[in-house]
Amino acid sequence: EPLFRSIGNIVEYLTFEVFKYACRGLYESDKFLFTLLLALKIELDNGRVKHHEFQTLIKGGAALDLKAVQPKPFKWITDMTWLNLVELSKLMQFSEVLNQISRNEKAWRIWFESDAPEEEVIPDGYSNSLDTFRKLLLVRCWCPDRVLPQARKYVAESMGVKYAEGVILDVKAMWEESKRSEER
pTM: 0.86
pLDDT tens for 129-156 read 999 999 999 999 999 999 999 999 999 9
Short-list 82, 85, 52, 89, CA closest to 67: 82
pLDDT tens for 110-135 read 999 999 999 999 999 999 999 999 99
Contact between 88 and 94 (Cβ < 8 Å): yes
Q: Give the Å distances, CA to CA, from 102 to 32, 76, 174.
A: 35, 12, 56
Q: Which residues contact 19 (CB under 8 A, 6 or more apart)?
A: 35, 38, 163, 167
Half-sphere exposure in the Cβ direction for 94 (13 Å, CA): 25
Tell whether the model's pLDDT for residue 8 goes beyond 70: yes
Q: Give the Å distances, CA to CA, from 48 to 41, 42, 53, 79, 132.
A: 10, 9, 10, 30, 11
Residue 89: which pLDDT band, with cuts at 50, 70 and 90? very high
- Which range has the top average pLDDT, 18-22, 133-137, 163-167? 133-137
Confidence (pLDDT) at 169: 67
